[in-house]
Amino acid sequence: MDVPLQNLSYEVNVAISRENVLEWIRTFSQVIDENNVYLTDLDREIGDADHGANMNRGFKAVMTKLPSMETSDITGILKGVGMTLLSSVGGASGPLYSTVFMQLSKSFAGKEQLELADWCAGWEAAEQGVQMRGKAIPGDKTMVDAMQPALEALKEAVAQNLPIGVGLRNSADAAHQGMLATIPLVARKGRASYLGERSANHQDPGATSTYFLLDSAAKTWADC
Amino acid sequence: MKKLINKPEDVVLEELQGIELAHPDIVKVFYDPNYIVRADAPVKGKVGLVSGGGSGHEPMHGGFVGMGMLDAACPGAVFTSPTPDQMLEATKAVNGGAGVLHIVKNYTGDVMNFEMAADLAKEEGIEVQSVVVDDDVAVKDSTWTAGRRGVGLTVLMEKIVGAAAEEGRSLKEVADLARKVNAQGRSMGMALTSCVVPHVGKPSFDLPEDEMEIGIGIHGEPGRTRMKLQPADKVTEMLLTPIVEDLPFKAGDEVLLFVNSMGGTPLIELYIIYRKAVQMLEAKGIKVTRHLIGPYITSLEMAGASITLLKLDADLTKLWDAPVKTAGMRWGI
């Protein structure tokens, strides 16, 4: 090997590129496809048994449209994903996941590549957007319970100037913890809230797919 | 699980194709995005009524599109809210210049998607108002939760408000009337069996042969309590008592009593429930002056029933009796 390891890691430490974003979306689509039944089963227990199917329908539509987005910049790609989800998912996850991608798109406007601080700012906008659209706060047993700790981990990583790959891994791990922490909660938002106390002891499907989204980013960009 | 379908992913499309072939005199069907509008839409000068929701509740909502009821319905995937692009196109298609009312059942997804659609329609210069139906007494109402679900009362609201719009009432009058119906009606349902969502292929919840679920919604979501199966009269009491106490309905009230099948329960059993409900209401001095009995808001093949009670006055009664011509409800013509 004629390239010093030091330099190699510096090379790839720079930022998240347009191609990286496309790869993240492809990875997440595949994860959703593989976990379709798992997500639907989680939803069957406390909701209406459609979360996996809805997310899979949405990201199948995204995969169909992705080739036409491939020449766009980062903000254009993410906006395209958001609009596609809005018209193909339905339910609560349609507007909410659409909001995630639309907010990321807005936040990354004009950027050709993303530093960890950009990603963190985008995620902050996404979390605020989801809270506003869904009127949920942390502890309601929703996707916010995975988003919020992930955001805190990202902020921490930015403050400590950690490499992108480490920051993303920390945020995915935090989302995983947040997802597990929804298990004992009694739902206060979404269809699970109709069950009252019976919604406890079940993992929230939305928090689970949100963890997959962050985990896909961490896996796709592990070397960044 | 046995179902008369071709492929799970084609269920909604093929249902719409069937509706289009069966009722060309009543509705027009549009695809991608999917919505159903009355055949003569838009009706000039009339408030347009748009509703929608997940499929699987037939005849609601598509079966209630037509003269004297809805102007448009947006069918989502089975038990999944439709999307804003469907609602926007439907809203534009029925806008006769007097504004459009969205009738939205109180589910997180339905509310969010209709909110986004209303924003988009307003951006295009269409006056839109929204009314949320939340009549299910099985759900604890609280500012901290998603609130009560919209269930059986939706059918009665669509009929009554549809008649008012047909009369030429203004958007504000029609919206106020819808809110009045929502304030005066309550519902509760129960299940003997679960239902099977086509693309899931297994029951939405597991209910043993000798048990029933009280306080279920219309999406195969479990209810609040589960217990050993009871006789019909006892079940009727368990549904009707919380309804009467919640509003509360009082001696001297005139009401519309709606006994609904969740899909799998036959009319013979609905009449048994109706009989007991009338007896109970009469004992309380509440007079049943109008009724509706049958499968109008269903949950696929679920066996079970729901009861809805709506307090009537002269105006509501007149609007209930007004002519209606839809695939799912037809009288006075």
CA distances from residue B180 to A191, B112, B135, B185, B311 in whole angstroms, order as listed:
25, 23, 12, 9, 10
> Distance (Å) from the C-alpha of residue B229 to the closest C-alpha of chain A?
20
Model confidence pLDDT, tens digit, residues B276-291 = 999 999 999 999 999 9
- The CATH number that domain B185-319 falls under is 3.30.1180.20
Beta bridge partners of B185: B310
CB contact under 8 A, B204 and A50: no
Least confident of B40-44, B55-59, B214-218: B214-218
Query: What percentage of chain B exceeds 70 in pLDDT?
Result: 98
Mean pLDDT taken over chain B: 95
Pick A14-220's CATH classification: 1.25.40.340, 3.40.50.2000, 3.40.50.300, 2.40.50.100. 1.25.40.340
Model confidence pLDDT, tens digit, residues A80-137 = 999 999 999 988 899 999 999 999 999 999 999 999 999 999 999 999 999 999 989 9
Q: Where are the alpha helices (DSSP H) in A108-163?
A: 116-134, 144-159
Query: What residue has token string 């804003």?
Result: B84
Residues on chain B touching A88 (C-beta within 8 angstroms): 83
Residue A93: closest CA among A56, A54, A149: A54
Rounded Cα gap, residues A43 and A190, in angstroms: 11
Rounded Cα gap, residues A108 and A163, in angstroms: 19
Residue ranges of chain A whose pLDDT lies below 50: 1-12
Q: Where are the alpha helices (DSSP H) in B168-251?
A: 171-184, 232-246
What pTM was computed for the model?
Answer: 0.84
DSSP three-state, residue B137: coil
Query: What residue has token string 């509310």?
Result: B111
Q: Which residue of A has its CA nearest to B139?
A: A194
Q: Please answer whether residues A58 and A89 qualify as being in contact, where contact means their C-beta atoms are separated by less than 8 angstroms.
A: yes
Residue B106: closest CA among B144, B150, B138: B150
Q: Which of A48, A49, A90 sits opposite B82 (nearest CB)?
A: A90
Give the catalytic positions of B in this structure: 57, 219
CB contact under 8 A, A92 and B108: yes
pLDDT band at B120; cut points 50, 70, 90:
confident
DSSP three-state, residue A97: helix
Cβ contacts below 8 Å, chain A against chain B, sum to 103
ipTM here: 0.70
Mean pLDDT taken over chain A: 91
Q: Residue A191: what pLDDT?
A: 80
CA distances from residue A105 to A76, A168, B115 in whole angstroms, order as listed:
7, 18, 21
Q: Residue B35: what pLDDT?
A: 98
Query: What percentage of chain B exceeds 90 in pLDDT?
Result: 89
Find which of A48, A56, A189 to mutate to test the B interface (most B CBs within 10 Å of its CB): A48
Q: Where are the alpha helices (DSSP H) in B227-327?
A: 232-246, 267-283, 314-321
> Distance (Å) from the C-alpha of residue A53 to the closest C-alpha of chain B?
8
Domain ranges of chain A: 14-220
Least confident of A199-208, B140-149, B208-217: B140-149
Chain B residues whose C-beta sits inside 8 Å of any chain A C-beta: 33, 54, 76-85, 107-109, 112-113, 116, 138-140, 144-146, 149, 197, 199-200, 204-205, 217, 219-222, 224
Pick B10-183's CATH classification: 3.40.50.10440, 2.60.40.740, 3.40.50.1000, 3.40.640.10. 3.40.50.10440
Model confidence pLDDT, tens digit, residues B238-295 = 999 999 999 999 999 999 999 999 999 999 999 999 999 999 999 999 999 999 999 9
In the DSSP assignment, the letter for residue B257 is E
pLDDT band at B130; cut points 50, 70, 90:
very high
Q: Which of A87, A92, A188 sits opposite B112 (nearest CB)?
A: A92
Find which of B80, B188, B218 to mutate to test the A interface (most A CBs within 10 Å of its CB): B80
